[in-house]
Structure 1
Amino acid sequence: MRRAAVHLLAGVALAVSATACGDDTADPPGADAPGADTADPPGDTAANVPEECRAAFPQALEQPDLGEIALLPDGFPEPPVDATLCVTAETVGGAQETASYASPASAEEVLAGYETALASYGAARDRDGVGRPIVTANAGEVVIQVTPQEGGFVLAFAR
């Protein structure tokens, strides 16, 4: 059961990671045009995204709300490392949800911090479907996976 849940969550983590790996080297149309305005256009929701999030989660478009994560267990701990919430997302139907954080903490600090913070949920180190180190835990019917990545980490919740 636990191994199947890890592989299920690995798909969520890979999907979230893949969205952060787009080609950000291409210039937007008109960027080289004389007098081109490089400021965010009026009404651009990215202006509401914390600055810490822009490098680690370029897909962040608006201020996230942890309250939107329906699968978040009651009493779930705050991040055990310095972190800024950047993106919340869910799959169609809400069977899987993620909360992505930017953080200056190393992968080891994130893993060790969550291993301790989620001890009451039976936290354990494991590897995801592509071999990256993760922390997994269970809160009743909800499986939790913590996946460090460059510049932050992703919490995934699934039934």
Structure 2
Amino acid sequence: MKTTRRSHYLRAAVAAPLVVAALAGCGGDAGETEDGSGGTVAEDAAAGDGAPGVPDACRDAFPQALGPADLSELALLPEGFPSPPVDATLCITAETIGGAQETASYASQATEDEILAGYESALAAYGAAREQDGIGRPIVTATSGDVVIQVTPQDGGFALAFAR
């Protein structure tokens, strides 16, 4: 299928917040954490404790998760947006500076096809279509008003991107 220009922009929109979140957990001096356990949050996560408030299901798929995720923080999430059509755990919510793009990342044991087929159906009212991103991976795109939605499966889960 032909890749649209907006898919390239959304791919960047998904990647940028995830890179920033991953880098935010890097570095730092060992010391006392908020829970008094010693070490850094990154060291605690590597030791199997995980970051405070991050569900255990998120550890493998989203090791960069630094705290609890909350969908109510996403201003671009369309009103009445459906819950995931597959069993999934919310791991990360993020936005770019200025809020032009936002993401919600979920851990899930569902297959790529189950995720894509589920969102094609769940987002049918938003004109969902299966496409390919800039590197040939299958995605689902949809539109709600001036918000473009992209669903991108990945190992151990998927990411939803919302952009104006």
| TM-score exceeds 0.5 | yes
> Who is 2:107 aligned against?
102
The letter of the residue matching 1:5 is: R
Residues matched between the structures, number: 145
When residues 132 and 19 of structure 1 are mapped into structure 2, their CA distance, relative to the original with a 3 A threshold, is farther
The one of 78, 82, 88 aligned to 1:83: 88
Matched residue of 2:52: which SS?
A: helix
> Who is 1:156 aligned against?
161
The letter of the residue matching 1:85 is: L
Paired residues of 1:40 and 1:47 also in contact (CA < 8 A): no
Matched residue of 2:139: which SS?
A: strand
Structure 1, unaligned stretches of length 5 or more?
23-28, 31-38
Matched residue of 1:137: which SS?
A: strand
CA distance in 2, matches of 1:21, 1:64: 15
When residues 126 and 20 of structure 1 are mapped into structure 2, their CA distance, relative to the original with a 3 A threshold, is farther
> Who is 1:26 aligned against?
none
CA RMSD between the two structures: 2.7
Paired residues of 1:19 and 1:59 also in contact (CA < 8 A): no
Normalised TM-score (structure 2):
0.79
Structure 2, unaligned stretches of length 5 or more?
24-28, 31-35, 42-49
Paired residues for 1:125-144 under 5 Å:
125-144=130-149
> Who is 2:47 aligned against?
none
Note the C-alpha offset of 1:18: 5.2
> Who is 2:9 aligned against?
8
The one of 67, 71, 77 aligned to 1:66: 71
CA distance in 1, matches of 2:22, 2:52: 20
Note the C-alpha offset of 1:55: 0.6
Deviation per CA, 1:115-159: give whole Å up to 9, x if none. Answer: 000000000000111111000000010000000000000000000
Note the C-alpha offset of 1:47: 2.4
Normalised TM-score (structure 1):
0.82
When residues 17 and 68 of structure 1 are mapped into structure 2, their CA distance, relative to the original with a 3 A threshold, is closer
When residues 51 and 5 of structure 1 are mapped into structure 2, their CA distance, relative to the original with a 3 A threshold, is same
Matched, 1:146 2:147: no
Share of identical aligned residues, percent?
62
The one of 114, 117, 123 aligned to 2:119: 114
Q: Please list every run of at least 4 consecutive aligned residues from structure 1 whose deviation after the TM superposition is greater than 3 angstroms.
A: 14-22, 39-45
